[in-house]
Structure 1
Amino acid sequence: MPVEFRIAEVVDLVGGTLVSGREDHLLSGVRTLEEAGDSDLSFFSHPKYRSQFETTRAGAVLVGPEIGVGPRGVALIQVDNPSHALATLATKVEELSRAFVSGVRVGAHVGANADVDPGAAVHAGAVIDDGATIGRGSEICAGAVIGRDAIIGEDCIIHQNVTIRERCVLGDRVILQPGAVIGSDGFGYEFVDGRHHKVPQLGIVVLEDDVEVGANACVDRARFGRTVVGEGTKIDNLVQIGHNVQIGKNCIIVALSGVAGSSKLGDQVTLAAQVGINGHIEIADGVQLGGKSGAIQSIDEAGVYMGTPAKPFTDEVRQWRDVGKIREMRQSLKLLREEVERLKKE
């Protein structure tokens, strides 16, 4: 934690209650319960780590409302959700640590007809093509390429080596991690006369407000119209979003997942790692798909699903249980056959 806080300041920032310890104690780092020292802040939110909590040497620990007593000499700050409180503090630290200076740096290339707000920052090595628009407070880092007529809203962070291709649109407070590609061609071909002929992808990508896209993730432009990622959705590293996909608000898509073209995800959908979504299907609001699951057909009701093809979680667990009994069942069947053969001989 590159910024120092007194415990009283931490309590105020996270909206917590100090139940033990000194308000003036200085904190300058964040570490796990096991690693933390007297100048570090930590958090305790899962009973699995009870033993580490009881022996921690942290200067202060964020705890839930049910924790009123802790190790001797350790300050306890009660909050509703310790993990979220730590994230809130980390956000503040990030804001204070960010060295944002507006203006176009020497070495940046900005097209003559580009519209870069005076309150935006464009770093050396970045390329802003003709007709592109960069909103106030947005930061375009080294190596990023913003294509012709692309629109980037306010307070966005476009990290190193990101590509935003022509005419794509980003809302406000969008974050693109290094290497992300927005608006790459959709994977479309027609097989004619023994060859694959490329189908031009004439549409765009729209990332609504507060979307984040992870490192080396790709969101393909639509064949026609728009590929849309809804407000507040978070996409992890190495995710592929196909052309004309429609993703709702506040979804979570975890690493190595793939969403095939023209599929539609509702609001608050969660795809765990390595999930595959078939093309041209719909996933209802509130669906959660477990890791390595495959949705082959549309899912119409909210709930937790697992497996390939994806099925309700309880059904999948029951199937796992049955598979585990196969050896025992084969042995029982063998004994029954032997008994039948014996009876035949009598």
Structure 2
Amino acid sequence: MEHERAITAQEIAALTGGRLIAPGSGEVRVVAVAPIDRAGPDDLSFLASSKYLPYFQRSRAGVVLCKEEFAAAPGGPAVRIVVPDTHAALLAVLPVLYPPPVWQPGVHPTAVIGRGATWQDPVVIGPHVALGRDVHLGRNVRLGAGCALADGVQVGDDVELFPRVTVYSGTEIGNRVILHAGAVLGSDGFGYVPSTRGELPRKIPQVGRCLIGDDVEIGANTTVDRGSVDDTVIGPGTKIDNLVQVAHNVRIGARCLIAAMVGIAGSTHVGDDVFLAGQVGLADHLTIGSRVRVTVQGGVIGDIPDGAIVSGYPARSHREYLRAQAALYRLAKIVDDLEALVRRDRDA
């Protein structure tokens, strides 16, 4: 892979605030980042855990970012840069080795622009983009091929929509938002009056808005429904993975991290700084406190207080869940012992 520039170990140390510990190695150059087990002499890699020490000791990486505890580890690459947090250090280096592509402003001739649609230059409106009436785009907005924005959609500054994002009417998108391919914002929530006499369920009109805060990122093929009579709100700084369903009237706070295949049912409120691991399910009309952690495949059917860590289905205290699992694994031996007692009594 070609890069705009190589970078020396000394420059990496300066960028990361790290300590270069191999004398005379400051001019060693790297052009890419690679995992410790596959890195070559032209690659920067990192060692964040003792779990990867065997790979480190066999690694051919040109430069390695590592924590203080691994600074003098035997074997492995000699050129090491000691940093407090290897992942945070990578954030300083990656944009240098992999600079973002330069985009060219303009409106593609195949784009369809509705009456009253406006934008602040520069923008990119890609092939086959459709803008409805009275759509407004802020400055530095980039719309990938095939995006569709319905009537009245409002988009802030420095927003990027990857190809085939669909945004329904009633949606407002803040600044510095990233929407990945196939995301759908503002579609109707799942609201019906059930039949009581064999009739078809009656659809409840969804008239609320879908509000996306600043600095939000939403993954590929994720759906965020509009509110029914209230608004659906994604708070500033929240990051949502691929294949997530956010139902109508849900309110998610600031800086939350929501992993793939999470489902959040209608009218549930999620606090700030919450982490929902993969395949978590939240039932409807719940209140999830701030700083809550729900582990993988947790099924939440009741409110959770601030700061709690919960696991399992139904979700409960993580410590209680682990104790219950440990007890469950002991049941087989207990059953064996009971059966032995029954046989002994029967044979007596």
Specify the TM-score bucket, using the shorter chain as the normaliser: over 0.9
C-alpha distance in 1, partners of 2:341/2:76?
A: 65
Match of residue 182 from structure 1: 185
Normalization by structure 2: what TM-score?
Answer: 0.93
Residue deviations 1:285-314 (CA, integer Å, cap 9, x gap)? 111111111000111241221011101111
Residue deviations 1:213-233 (CA, integer Å, cap 9, x gap)? 110000000002310111111
Match of residue 34 from structure 1: 37
Match of residue 88 from structure 2: 84
Match of residue 230 from structure 1: 235
- Matched to 2:20, the amino acid is L
Match of 1:108 among 92, 96, 111: 111
- Secondary structure of the residue aligned to 2:211 is strand
- Secondary structure of the residue aligned to 2:313 is coil
Do residues 138 (structure 1) and 127 (structure 2) align? no
Do residues 279 (structure 1) and 284 (structure 2) align? yes
Q: Is the 8 A contact 1:162 1:180 kept in 2?
A: yes
State the Cα distance separating 1:23 from its structure 2 match: 2.5
Match of residue 49 from structure 2: 46
- Deviates most, 9-18 or 75-84: 9-18
State the Cα distance separating 1:208 from its structure 2 match: 0.6
How much is the aligned-residue C-alpha RMSD, in angstroms? Answer: 1.8
Match of residue 3 from structure 1: 4
State the Cα distance separating 1:61 from its structure 2 match: 0.9
Match of 1:263 among 268, 290, 294: 268
State the Cα distance separating 1:173 from its structure 2 match: 0.9
- Deviates most, 85-94 or 128-137: 85-94
Match of 1:212 among 201, 217, 220: 217
Match of residue 324 from structure 1: 329
- Count of residue pairs the alignment pairs up: 342
Structure 1 residues without counterparts, runs of 5 or longer: none
Do residues 57 (structure 1) and 47 (structure 2) align? no
Residue deviations 1:257-288 (CA, integer Å, cap 9, x gap)? 10000001111111111110000011111111
Normalization by structure 1: what TM-score?
Answer: 0.93
- Secondary structure of the residue aligned to 1:169 is strand
C-alpha distance in 2, partners of 1:339/1:190?
A: 61
Q: Is the 8 A contact 2:112 2:129 kept in 1?
A: yes
State the Cα distance separating 1:146 from its structure 2 match: 1.4
Q: Is the 8 A contact 1:57 1:74 kept in 2?
A: no
C-alpha distance in 2, partners of 1:14/1:105?
A: 40
C-alpha distance in 2, partners of 1:224/1:337?
A: 63
Match of residue 298 from structure 2: 293
- Secondary structure of the residue aligned to 1:195 is coil
Structure 2 residues without counterparts, runs of 5 or longer: none
- Matched to 2:330, the amino acid is K
Query: CA separation of 1:56/1:207 partners in 2, compared to 1, >3 Å: closer, same or farther?
Result: same
- Secondary structure of the residue aligned to 2:70 is coil
